[in-house]
């Protein structure tokens, strides 16, 4: 039995959840998200709480049970609080700045790297070596952060590159004489 799937999702004040067949739409002042739940799952919205149950005891239905609950809960949290990811730039001369809605970074290449903000994502640069990515869609925030990190991932000898805040880079020992 899924321990996550058994739990219901309480709908906070100011959030409207609409169930149309297998499509779940979550709206709030911050925005709107929707997702289509697998046909193996039964949805119920009663007493301000969304509950999930598998249609049968198949392996797929039981696997989708907890996943569906988690994804819908992420949508509810996203439209109420939002999600944020922080990246750090480590290296001499590495810095970031805003160009309109786009992010412009100097990462040791011969040119600046510009990253346009996808729809629903906002960039902030509180310090030249720190980038904040915010949005209501957890998956899109994480994917955008991963794409920026992929431009110059941290290297193991000096640790230079773009890394997540708090990420530990495993260092290697250099050449011996």
What would the pLDDT profile of 50-84 be if each residue is shown by its tens digit? 999 999 989 999 889 999 999 999 999 999 999 99
Burial 4-22 (b: 16+ CB within 10 A, else e): ebeebbebeeebebeeeee
- Contact yes or no for 128/97 (Cβ under 8 A): yes
Please report which helix (H) or strand (E) contains residue 34, including its range.
strand 32-36
- d(CA 129, CA 39) in angstroms, rounded, equals 46
The first and second tokens of residue 93, run together, are: 């001369």
Angle (CA) 34 37 51, round 5°: 95
What integer pLDDT is reported at residue 1 of this predicted model? Answer: 63
Pairing state between β 49-54 and 23-27: unpaired
The first and second tokens of residue 173, run together, are: 């020992």
Name every residue whose Cβ is closer than 8 Å to that of residue 138 and which is 6 or more positions away in sequence: 74, 77, 78, 83
The CA–CA distances, whole Å, from 84 to 106, 138, 142, 147 equal: 22, 8, 9, 15
What structural domains and CATH numbers belong to the chain?
3-80 (3.90.930.12), 83-164 (3.90.930.12)
Residues of the chain predicted below pLDDT 50: none
- Helix residue ranges per DSSP H, the chain: 3-6, 59-80, 138-151
């Amino acid at each position: 039995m899924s321990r996550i799937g058994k739990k219901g999702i309480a709908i906070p004040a100011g959030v409207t959840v609409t169930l149309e067949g297998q499509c779940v739409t979550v709206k709030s002042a911050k925005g709107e998200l929707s997702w289509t739940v697998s046909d193996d799952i039964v949805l119920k919205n009663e007493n301000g709480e969304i509950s999930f149950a598998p249609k049968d005891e198949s392996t797929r239905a039981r696997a989708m049970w907890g996943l569906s609950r988690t994804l819908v809960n992420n949508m509810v949290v996203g439209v109420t609080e939002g999600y944020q990811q922080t990246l750090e730039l480590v290296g001499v001369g590495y810095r970031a700045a805003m160009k309109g809605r786009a992010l412009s970074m100097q990462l040791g290449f011969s040119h600046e790297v510009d990253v346009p903000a996808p729809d629903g994502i906002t960039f902030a640069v509180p310090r030249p070596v720190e980038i904040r990515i915010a949005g209501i869609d957890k998956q899109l925030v994480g994917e955008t952060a991963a794409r920026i990190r992929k431009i110059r991932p941290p290297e193991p000898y000096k640790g230079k590159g773009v890394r997540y805040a708090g990420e530990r880079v495993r260092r290697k020992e250099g050449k011996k004489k």
